[in-house]
Amino acid sequence: MKALKQEPLDLIVTGVGGQGNVLASQVLGRALLAAGYQVTVGETYGLSQRGGPVMSMVRVTKEKVMGPTIPAHSAAALVSLEPLEALRVLGTYGHPGVVVLTNDRPLLPLNVIAGTDRYPDLAELKQALSENCAKLYWLPATETALNLGNPILANVIMLGALAAAGLLPIGAAEIEAALGAIFPESKMGVNRRALAKGAELAAAA
Amino acid sequence: MADLTKLTPGQRTLLQGNEAIARGALEAGISLAAAYPGNPSSEILESLADSAAAAGIYVEWSANEKVALEAAAGASFAGLRAMASMKQNGVNVCQDFICNLTISGTKGGIVLVTADDPGSISSTNEQDARFIAKLAELPLLEPSTPAECLAMMRFAFELSEQIGNLVVLRSISRLSHTRAGVTPGALPASRPQPYWDPKVAWHTLPTVLRHKAMLAKLAKAGEIMSAAGFNAYSGPERPELLVIASASSALYADEARDRLGVAERVGLLKLGCTWPLDEALLLRHLAATEQILFAEEVDPFIEDNVKALYAQHAPELGVKRFFGAATGHTPPVGEMSPDVLAEALGKILGREPATVDAAYLERVAQRVAALVPPREFGFCPGCPHRASFWSMKQVLAADGRDGLVSGDIGCYSLAMLPTGFQRANAVHCMGSGPGVAGGLGQLRSQGFDQPVITTVGDSTFFHAALPAIINARWNQSDFVLVVLDNSATAMTGFQPHPGTGQTATGRPGSQLDPQTVLTALGVPCSVVDPYDLEATQQALYDAVQAGGGVRALILRRVCALVQNKRGGHPYTVSVDPDKCRGENCGCHRFCSRVFRCPGLAFDEAAGKATIDPVVCVGCGVCTQICPAGAIQAEPRKEAAA
């Protein structure tokens, strides 16, 4: 069992209902548990399937059992499947040392579609994120997922990027094994490609 | 969910709190489990349903929570172990039965699991269901972790059998929906043969004598619980401050103590058994400190009961200072967090929690305020409820008499928001829609002439709406009942219900059709597809104008998410930019501003409406609302029939 960069190692996976956020955090949890760590994965979903924001908190320690909620401004890394949600969550859980990995594809809130609110300019959003974190990975995960055949693969692509970013005490192989425990082998080919694409995107970022 | 009998005993695995509750019940040897779905409790019965065949047990989704608990009691009287699980609201639905069952007593171990929802993450209220334990004088267990969920469920069935009464285990959203390492134990090799000796009767007479016996059971439960090891103390022998906490709050308190660096000054008494209280344990710890802080969710349940205990022993304990909800150190509403407790500890002990650079906080807060709009809840793309409420809005506007919609519980509760055109004028609890409408519909003699519609989903129809509909039919109340029949308990994850004819374990059941039920009750009833806006609006308008007693319209169209899984919707939708009037349409972007489907978007640069192909599912309803006929639906090539 590798040493943790900090204890607890607190990670947030966020996005919008229906993006596969809960699955992503569950895979992370399984992989870390299999590697011998204590893991607590707190999931928030309620109305979230109806387009609301969703957040999972993954807390990793060697021994101590943690509660399911990360204290404000103390996440080590923030993985977001939607760029606006990245900044929303950064506001509560960010600090100068946080690493942010976000999908660059907006999912417009209904109130934006309706014209009552504006979705921020993407360049401005990207700048707000990069100015307030240690490193920003701004990744075309949905676009890459569409090229692989299904937009839902964005979550696995982001996991591939997270593993490659060197923040976890585990690597892509452990994440792949955790995916293999959930998906049938027939679906593992495309999941492996998604993980590898995520690593490529992170390396290029 | 998955078959939990496949877990390997002794091998640590990642389990959700709800799965750990289910596994604990399996290890305890339950023979029957029943529930009505409701977040955050639903995965408990889903896991048991997926394990039922391998475990050889009976598992059902019941029509409502009261029926579920009654079914479990039946099994208990026959000597079997059984359980019912529900969200906090469900405890209200069973309350009458609980308050009688506790007097009659039980035989086989029986456990009621309530999964409460502090912060109302997926509920219409955040009520603290722990009070049922005090009201009905039942033992109450509050696990902190998934591992403890499993251990406490095993214990709860033993305890129930030892005292001959129901035991309550209370989870919360943050535990039910938390995954952590759990080490399963062994499954039982066999379960008892059910038998109810007809010479034995379970009832409440003579009530006062049995009430007395019930209190003796509770006292015995207290003794057994105090030896169970679920209450634990950590900290110095004589702490400057004692935190008394339960559930997730105990973990938050521990973390807050570490973060403030006050572990040598603060004691933590974590209570897993919260009714009856372990009085000897509490008195010992109260004697060792001068200051006490309570950490629990949501109401001051432990706080008030410990204070009552203290009052009884104040002469020997001397003066103490209590902090908690009563003093504003913990919030009286919403969820607890490590931050709330760090602040409370800091305030009491004069310590500032370490914070991030103030300039950073200010900068990031400013960026969030400037750039991040809220994310409004909405019906899914293709949701038939959007179409249904669109029609209600149009019909009531055309009627012009300030018509009202009495709403109910389900996805369609969201009709109170812009996504449903704010066309739900009242939403409370399961079945209250037709109940409230029934009262309004009797006010004609008082000069009330506003039309009244009530909406109930198909699952809600069977759960609690029927008595209100029968009452309205009997007393001739004047309203239109709209059954939003999407053939699913969609809000909670597509569990089957009486109208689907499927059962929890996939075994076919008898399908009950709301139309047949309504017709049998003498309620005139027609069925329309809500995607057909014109037909729906005509039928609804006619029903509203008809007057007289209760009349019904069933708007039947399968849930869009279910349709997505069945091969998808029939169309590829697009906007003809030459026809689209853009900003000038319907006083400014009619489709995206007013109809508000997430599949629609507005291209600011082009000044035209557009379709988001990643979001649009292809239901085609928006083609009917575009005044310019600019939204087009082409049959999708691979569309399912």
pLDDT score of B641: 39
From residue A115, alpha-carbon distances to A110, B373, B448, B601, B610 in Å are: 9, 11, 37, 10, 14
Chain A hits for B171, Cβ within 8 Å: none
Q: Is the pLDDT of residue A49 over 60?
A: no
Q: Does B409 touch chain A (CB under 8 A)?
A: no
- Going A80 to A85 to A90 to A92, the CA torsion angle's sign is negative
- Residue closest to B565 by CA, chosen among B392, B413, B380: B380
Residue A108 has its nearest CB partner, among B39, B355, B601, at: B601
Mean pLDDT of B483-509: 88
* Cis peptide, bond prior to residue A83, ω within 30 of zero: no
Return the minimum-mean-pLDDT range out of A45-49, B213-217, B416-420, B500-504: A45-49
Q: Which pLDDT tens digit goes with each residue over B13-49?
A: 999 999 999 999 999 999 999 999 999 999 999 999 9
ipTM of the complex: 0.96
Calculate the alpha carbon distances from B390 to A112, A165, B277, B628 in Å. Answer: 20, 47, 53, 18
Q: Which of B174, B342, B368 sits opposite A68 (nearest CB)?
A: B174
Q: What residues pair up with B33 in beta bridges, in sequence order?
A: B59, B83
| pLDDT at A46 (0 to 100) | 61
**Pick from A16-30, B333-347, B422-436: least confident:** A16-30
Q: What is the pLDDT of residues B517-541, one digit of tens each?
A: 999 999 999 999 999 999 999 999 9
Pure H helices in B78-145: 88-104, 131-135
The per-residue pLDDT for range B155-206, each reduced to its tens digit, is 999 999 999 999 999 999 999 999 999 999 999 999 999 999 999 999 999 9
Smallest CA-to-CA distance from B525 within B482, B462, B486, B463 is with: B482
pLDDT exceeding 90 applies to what percent of chain B?
90
Report the alpha-carbon distance of residue A168 to residue A112 in Å, rounded. Answer: 35
Q: Provide the number of CB pairs (under 8 Å) joining chain A to chain B.
A: 186
What is the Cα–Cα distance from B434 to B53, expressed in whole angstroms?
A: 38
Q: pLDDT value at position B373?
A: 96
Cβ–Cβ under 8 Å, residues B114 and B87: yes
Q: Do B339 and A71 touch (CB under 8 A)?
A: yes
B286 — pLDDT class (breaks 50, 70, 90): very high
Q: Which residues of A touch B339 (CB under 8 A)?
A: 71-72
Is it the case that residue B639 has pLDDT exceeding 70? no
Which residue of B lies nearest to A18 if distances are taken between CA atoms?
A: B380
Q: How far apart are CA B101 and CA B82, in angstroms?
A: 14
Residue B586 has pLDDT above 50, yes or no: yes
* Interval B229-251: pLDDT, tens: 999 999 999 999 999 999 999 99
CB contact under 8 A, B180 and A119: no
Interface contact flag, B375 A128, Cβ < 8 Å: no
Q: Which residue of A has its CA nearest to B420?
A: A110
Please indicate if any CB of chain B lies within 8 Å of the CB of A130.
no
Span A191-195, average pLDDT: 98
What integer pLDDT is reported at residue B547 of this predicted model? 87
Choose the mutation target among A80, A110, A129 for the interface with B, i.e. most B CBs under 10 Å. Answer: A110
Residue of chain A minimizing CA distance to B41: A46
What pLDDT, on a 0 to 100 scale, did the predictor assign at position B640? 44
HSE-CB for A55 with a 13 A CA cutoff: 20
Contact B371 A47 (CB under 8 A): no
Q: Categorize the per-residue pLDDT at A47 as very low, low, confident or very high, splitting at 50, 70 and 90.
A: low
Provide, rounded to the nearest whole percent, the portion of chain B with pLDDT above 70: 99
Element (H, E) at A93: helix A83-93
pLDDT surpassing 70 at residue B333: yes
Residue B636 pLDDT grade (very low, low, confident, very high; cuts 50, 70, 90): confident
Q: Using CB atoms and an 8 Å cut-off, which of residues 501-560 of chain B contact chain A?
A: none
- Report the distance separating Cα B134 and Cα B128, nearest Å: 12
Rounded CA separation B127/A134 (Å): 41
Interface test with B, best of A10, A30, A37, A69 (most B CBs within 10 A): A69
Average pLDDT of chain A to the nearest whole number = 94
